[in-house]
Amino acid sequence: MNFISTRGAAAACGLSAAIAAGLAPDGGLYVPDTLPGLSAQQFDGCDTLPAVATRLLQPFFDGDALAPDLAAICGEAFDFPLPLLPLATARDSVLELFHGPTAAFKDFGARFLAACLARLYAGRERALTIVVATSGDTGAAVAAAFHRRPGLRVAVLYPDGRVSPRQAHQLGCFGDNIHTYKVHGSFDDCQALTKRALNDATLQQAIPLSSANSISLGRLLPQMSYYAYAALTHWRTQGRPLNFVIPTGNLGNAFAAILARTLGLPLGRIVLATNANAVLPQFFAGADYTPRASIATLANAMDVGAPSNFERLRWLYPDTAQLRREFPAQSVGDEAIRETIARRYRSHGEVFCPHTATAVKTLEDLRHEGVDGDWCVVATAHPAKFESVVEPLIGRPLETPPALAALLQRPAAAQPLSADYAAFAAELHRSFRAETVPPAIT
Ligand SMILES: *Cc1c(COP(=O)(O)O)cnc(C)c1O
């Protein structure tokens, strides 16, 4: 299969090239040039997440150098549990995407991307450096996934003082081939530095660079797998499609669900839940699409004012009226997030992270309006990752999942960096020159 740009002005390319490039050369996002059809029957015999993922992604890998490795990549990337559990409220369930190494759903995409790039860059003379700006979760997932991968190195930039202490610890605890920078500035400053580096042809000559942000095809495609797995599991036991409510920021997670349904998997309705950053709900309610600066909320991994995968949604649904009919969306403010976390714990003993709480609240409102069917809330992070928000609301300490506890045990450090491009470029030259042979990994 080939991949084309949403902006239509870049040459079609194969999967490996699209994954390595990140952004298409015309500034658009890579999308498949054809959409394969996949019915539930075609997954007969696929009973595990890696087996479902391999079957699902096969058409996308067809003809690519990575195709023979697809099953191995899925097995390696998806090696942690994916529980689909009933909630206390009837016909409601939760899909827990937070059992990976950094306790957030971004582990699925980051681990898959790393497994692909490790194979593409193994044995090459020049290492590939991944630059990633993060407001918290992305950087940790990418650092964990790329840690000690031969031929790959990572520069993580985060805004100093604007991530939670636990997030900062996770970002700085890897070392080896992971370089962590605490930038004296905002997340937007971090993003501006990485974008400029990725567009700096002179720098790229000396240091081959790539990105790992949420527009990366190598993160987007694998995210379809858990929706396929959950929907097939439900279909096989209940004979009905499963409807989803998805906490949404950059639309990477939700777009993967939409694409999986488009391919023919038994997903029913898809509803988006955002925090107070309401650009998507306002668009779906009929307003113009107006990207804006983000505002800070309790669900900080969804603090997005210009959702980067919106361009892919427009590509899939060029008809605005149809797009608006298809995807209801609701914005949930901080007060409702707090109220939902406290009340669900008090009434049912259920504990949700602030991101997941936006989806829980949205489903409650849908049920209140009388919506029918089997619904699944997508849980994007473990509540213990946001203990400073959740613990005071439920009035007890949360147990830290073992993978997260292991990371918190490691010593952590980050190098200070000013939000200045010349300083960043000089640092990249100093630490990442391609001639520098990466240290042997034992
Ligand atoms: C990144 C993230 C989201 C938002 O996902 P998008 O793909 O950007 O829409 C939601 N919840 C958590 C915990 C996240 O880390």
What is the domain-level CATH number for residue 98?
A: 3.40.50.1100
* pLDDT (0 to 100) of residue 434: 55
> Phi and psi dihedrals of 250, rounded to 5?
-85, 0
Q: How far is the CA of 301 from the centre of ligand 1 (A)?
A: 5
- Candidates 149, 299, 270; CA nearest to 210 is 149
| Residues contacting residue 353 through CB under 8 Å, at least 6 positions apart | 98, 299, 379, 380, 381, 382, 383, 385, 386, 390
**What confidence tens digit (pLDDT) does each residue in 316-331 have?**
999 999 999 999 999 9
* pLDDT (0 to 100) of residue 25: 87
**What confidence tens digit (pLDDT) does each residue in 253-299 have?**
999 999 999 999 999 999 999 999 999 999 999 999 999 888 889 99
139 within ligand 1 shell (Cβ under 6 A) = no
104 within ligand 1 shell (Cβ under 6 A) = yes
Task: State how far Cα 207 lies from the chain centre.
Answer: 26
Does residue 158 lie within any of the structural domains? no
For the CA of 141, the nearest atom of ligand 1: 15
Does residue 326 lie within any of the structural domains? yes
Does residue 25 lie within any of the structural domains? no
Does residue 134 lie within any of the structural domains? no
313 within ligand 1 shell (Cβ under 6 A) = no
Does residue 342 lie within any of the structural domains? yes
Q: Whose CA is nearest to atom 8 of ligand 1?
A: 250
Q: How far is the CA of 442 from the centre of ligand 1 (A)?
A: 34
Q: How far is the CA of 105 from the centre of ligand 1 (A)?
A: 7
Q: Which domain holds residue 233?
A: 84-104+219-401
* pLDDT (0 to 100) of residue 195: 85
Does residue 203 lie within any of the structural domains? no
* pLDDT (0 to 100) of residue 442: 46
15 within ligand 1 shell (Cβ under 6 A) = no
213 within ligand 1 shell (Cβ under 6 A) = no
The total number of structural domains in the chain stands at 1
381 within ligand 1 shell (Cβ under 6 A) = yes
Does residue 278 lie within any of the structural domains? yes
For the CA of 106, the nearest atom of ligand 1: 15
162 within ligand 1 shell (Cβ under 6 A) = no
329 within ligand 1 shell (Cβ under 6 A) = no
Does residue 92 lie within any of the structural domains? yes
**What confidence tens digit (pLDDT) does each residue in 163-183 have?**
888 889 999 999 999 999 999
Q: What angle do CA 410, 415, 420 make, to 5 degrees?
A: 150
> Phi and psi dihedrals of 154, rounded to 5?
-130, 135
As a dihedral over the C-alpha atoms of residue 156, residue 73, residue 62, residue 20, rounded to 10 degrees, the angle is 20
Which residues in the chain come in under a pLDDT of 70? Answer: 434-442
Token output for 115 = 């497994």
- Strands 375-379, 242-247: pairing is parallel
Beta strands in 186-338 (DSSP E): 209-211, 242-247, 267-274, 329-331
Q: How far is the CA of 404 from the centre of ligand 1 (A)?
A: 18
Task: State how far Cα 196 lies from the chain centre.
Answer: 22
Enter the pTM of the model: 0.95
Report the C-alpha gap between 94 and 202 in whole angstroms: 48
**3-state DSSP: the chain helix, strand, coil percent, rounded to 5?**
45, 15, 40
* pLDDT (0 to 100) of residue 124: 84
> What are the C-alpha distances in Å from 320 to residues 43, 202, 305, 323?
33, 41, 20, 5
